């Protein structure tokens, strides 16, 4: 399956498993097996849930290489950076590692003083990129959103294949959907509004909690316009998402994966800390699994 086709389904933004602070390759392989058994269409290492800011450049390359080695599905590699040159280098590293596509964000810390600045940034990266590129809108982390007009302006570039929107703003998502060509993928990255987005025309999802219950997300994708998808969104995904929102999604997702027996450790890197009370997450996970088994 090629990456464009795979992204019409469910892509999992992988956590990065650690063992006493080091990357745990055996746990990563086990996670990928868990996801593929659950029906995930593609995987996304080194995203926000993968704690990319806490990884050294060599470690990011290592995680991507190991993911490509373990996975039998397409790999979209995080290539997030603040400068054009560094972003291009990150895309090239992803290509060297064997990834099928790369995801890039708007520059953070120093944000654009005008939307034209982000357009220049993306156009400069796309002009040099050797991989298909997915824009990644996550304003709560970057300090700015990628304006719909900016997305529309670069959507026709041959290297731009789509956008992952993790803003949680459905109106924004629908605006981007309306302004971009049909072949430009609009992917919902905010789990709480996955089914509404699919019903309004989203092409697929990139969802952190698919690490934990991939089979639930698989069923949602297969029945996105049916009553079963609505039931799974309301009774499985939404309660688990709510239980995780009081924590960063890397610690919360790892806590749930440990509860399910997929990962041996919920270790995260500073500035993150593990979830101190996993009771609500465990309760929501049990409920999600029970609803998924109906």
Give the global pTM: 0.97
Q: Is residue 216 part of a domain?
A: yes
Per the annotation, the verdict on 164 as an active-site residue is yes
Q: Are strands 18-19 and 22-23 parallel, antiparallel or unpaired?
A: antiparallel
Q: Is residue 126 part of a domain?
A: yes
| Residue 249 forms part of a structural domain | no
> At what angle are helices 57-70 and 25-37 packed, to 10 degrees?
40
Cis (ω within 30 of 0) for the bond into 271? yes
Determine the length of the chain: 294
Does 41 reside within a domain?
Answer: yes
Known catalytic residue: 136? Answer: yes
Residue 189 domain boundaries: 3-224
Q: Which of 108, 164, 172, 190 is catalytic?
A: 164
CATH of the domain at 25: 3.20.20.70
User: DSSP code of 105?
Assistant: E
CA angle 124, 48, 193 (to 5 degrees): 100
Active-site choice (136, 172, 190, 254): 136
User: Is 235 part of any domain?
Assistant: no
Please give the chain's pLDDT, 294 residues, in tens: 899 999 999 999 999 999 999 999 999 999 999 999 999 999 999 999 999 999 999 999 999 999 999 999 999 999 999 999 999 999 999 999 999 999 999 999 999 999 899 999 999 999 999 999 999 999 999 999 999 999 999 999 999 999 999 999 999 999 999 999 999 999 999 999 999 999 999 999 999 999 999 999 999 999 999 999 999 999 999 999 999 998 999 999 999 999 999 999 999 999 999 999 999 999 999 999 999 988
Residue 12 to residues 118, 208, 255: CA-CA distances in angstroms?
A: 26, 6, 16
- What domain count does the chain have? 1
Q: What dihedral do alpha carbons 144, 150, 152, 154 form, nearest 10°?
A: -110
The answer for 104, left when phi > 0, alpha when psi is -120 to 50, beta otherwise, is: beta
């Amino acid at each position: 399956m090629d990456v464009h086709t795979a992204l019409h389904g469910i892509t999992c933004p992988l956590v990065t498993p650690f063992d006493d602070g080091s990357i745990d390759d055996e746990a990563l392989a086990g996670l990928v097996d868990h996801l593929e058994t659950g029906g995930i269409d593609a995987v996304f290492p080194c995203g926000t849930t993968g704690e990319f800011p806490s990884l050294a450049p060599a470690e990011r390359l290592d995680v991507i290489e190991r993911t490509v080695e373990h996975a039998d599905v397409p790999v979209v590699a995080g290539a997030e950076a603040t400068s054009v040159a560094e972003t291009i280098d990150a895309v090239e590293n992803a290509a060297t590692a064997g990834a099928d596509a790369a995801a890039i964000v708007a520059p953070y810390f120093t944000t654009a003083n005008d939307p034209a600045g982000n357009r220049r940034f993306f156009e400069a990266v796309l002009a040099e990129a050797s991989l298909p590129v997915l824009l990644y809108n996550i304003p709560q982390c970057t300090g700015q959103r990628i304006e719909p007009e900016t997305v529309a302006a670069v959507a026709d570039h041959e290297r731009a294949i789509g956008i992952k929107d993790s803003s949680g703003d459905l109106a924004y998502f629908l605006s981007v959907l309306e302004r971009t060509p049909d072949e430009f993928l609009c992917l919902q990255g905010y789990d709480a509004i996955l089914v509404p987005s699919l019903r309004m025309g989203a092409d697929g999802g990139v969802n952190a909690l698919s690490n934990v219950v991939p089979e639930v997300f698989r069923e949602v994708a297969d029945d996105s316009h049916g009553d079963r998808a609505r039931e799974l969104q309301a009774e499985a995904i939404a309660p688990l998402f709510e239980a995780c929102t009081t924590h960063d999604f890397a610690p919360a997702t790892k806590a749930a994966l440990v509860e399910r027996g997929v990962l041996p450790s919920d270790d995260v890197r500073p500035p993150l800390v593990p979830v101190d009370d996993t009771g609500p997450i465990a309760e929501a996970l049990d409920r999600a699994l029970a609803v998924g088994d109906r």
